Structure 1
Amino acid sequence: MSKRTTIIDRCETRGLRLTQQRRIIASVLEMSRDHPDVEELHVRAAARDAGISLATVYRTVKTLEEVGILEKVDFGDGRARYEDAERDHHDHLIDMESGRVIEFVDEDIEALQEKIAAKLGYRLRGHRLELYGVPLTSGGGRKID
């Protein structure tokens, strides 16, 4: 998924003060390919700088969300997770057994959403789709067709 600019670039463009700790947190977010919550971000950032507190991560994430650099996502597990607000559009499938989040894009779904909005008299400006499911497996771990 491509990004137009880095999170650090967007912080600088918006005039946000970037301490060394904020730079580390932004870098960790930039490298994340999953949807980490604040606690996971703290673990990753503290691995680079043990002086980064959980409170610093909370404040940084809140600031980045307020200025539109991060987007909060909630997959129904009680944990607020975050992703770059400028990532290419995608939808999510959440495995309810493992908690794994699978990102996907499906042109048929995109077209259907546009069609539904038009049928109801609207032009779609955006959407968020989250599917929740369990694997189609038998007791032996084999996929059921």
Structure 2
Amino acid sequence: MSLENQELRKAGLKVTLPRVKIYQILEKAGEGDHFSAEDIYKLLMEIGEDVGLATVYRVLTQFETAGLVTRHHFEGGHSVFELASAEEHDHIVCIKCGRVREFVDQQLIDRQYQIAKDLGFTITDRTLYLYGVCSEGCSAK
């Protein structure tokens, strides 16, 4: 049984071709890659898979509910997805082209936990988004 099938079953989801294909796309993403539903739909079309955009949205929502993916809502109203990870990390988003990069700064993470503790809170979840303009050939929209 493939790893995708095992992960889907472990999450309580029936193994279907669209679910397997979408999971594979997310799994093969480069480090720090984040895909919108439209990005995944386009990738499926490029490899000749006949999966509708509505199905992609439905599967991503099922994956999110099952804890397989994390959805990020960035300014500008677009959502992107990545496979759920136990490693804490943060994101920086280009406000011109929408490019998303992940980064890990343990001192920054530790500082956030210390601030919460100082204020009498226990962090149950954390998300940090930084916004700026990328310098890597940003094709401004």
**Secondary structure at 2:116 match in 1:** helix
How far is 1:125 from its partner? Answer: 3.0
Distance of 1:65 and 1:119 partners within structure 2: 32
The residue aligned with 2:132 is 133
User: Larger radius of gyration, structure 1 or 2?
Assistant: 1
Pairing of 1:1-145 with structure 2 (within 5 A): 8-33=5-30, 34-86=33-85, 88-134=87-133
One-letter code aligned to 2:82:
E
CA deviations over 1:8-32 (Å, ceiling 9, x no partner): 4321112311112221111011112
Q: Which stretch of the first structure deviates more once superposed, 48-57 or 35-44?
A: 48-57
Q: Any idea what SS the aligned residue of 2:96 has? A: coil
SS of residue in 2 equivalent to 1:86 = coil
Q: 1:87, CA displacement in angstroms?
A: 5.2
Alpha-carbon separation, structure 1, partners of 2:134 and 2:25: 30
Judged with a 3 Å threshold, the aligned counterparts in structure 2 of structure 1 residues 65 and 135 are, in CA distance, closer, same or farther, namely closer
Matches of 1:15 and 1:66 in 2, distance apart? 11
**Alpha-carbon distance in structure 1 between the residues aligned to 2:74 and 2:4:** 23
What's the TM-score once normalised by structure 2's chain length? 0.82
Report if the CA contact (8 A) 2:38-2:53 is conserved: yes
8 Å contact from structure 1 (residues 94, 131) kept in 2: yes
Deviation at 1:82, TM superposition (A): 0.6
Given residue 13 of structure 1, which amino acid in structure 2 is its aligned partner?
Answer: K
Report how many aligned residue pairs link the two structures: 132
> TM-score if structure 1 supplies the norm length?
0.80
Question: How far is 1:49 from its partner?
Answer: 3.3
Pairwise CA RMSD of aligned residues?
2.1
The one-letter amino acid paired with 2:26 is L
Q: Structure 1 residues 25 and 135, CA, compared in 2 at 3 Å: closer, same or farther?
A: closer
Residue by residue, what CA displacement relative to the aligned partner does 1:114-138 show, whole Å, maximum 9, x if unpaired?
A: 21011111233331000112358xx
- C-alpha change, 1:79 and 1:8, in structure 2 (3 Å) is farther
